[in-house]
Amino acid sequence: MVLIAAALLDNLFGITFEYAFYGAIYCLAALVLFLPNLAVTVRRLHDINKSGWNILWGIIPLIGSILLIVWCCQDSKAEANQYGESPKYL
């Protein structure tokens, strides 16, 4: 939602790049949100007992993104795993 709002602000103020729908506000928002997004995804992978390094599958076009979406939609396990207790079942 933040990135959509940033892109709209870029277009509203006319500060988009020549061949793109986004501009400086969008780029700044994307940079600010990158690390929190990465942290949340790694925590989600830990909830389903997968290594955080599995986020690198997202580099592979299409297949990697689909794989990450499937993993992130899985239900976490009730028992503790190597990363600790699941916050859902505390």
Output the pLDDT for position 36: 96
Q: CA–CA separation, 25 vs 39, rounded Å?
A: 22
Query: Which pLDDT belongs to residue 60?
Result: 95
pLDDT at 66: 96
pLDDT tens readout for residues 38-65: 999 999 999 999 999 999 999 999 999 9
In sign, the C-alpha dihedral spanning 32, 33, 35, 36 is positive
Residue spans per domain, the chain: 1-73
Confidence at 20, pLDDT banded by 50, 70, 90: confident
Q: Is the pLDDT of residue 23 over 80?
A: yes
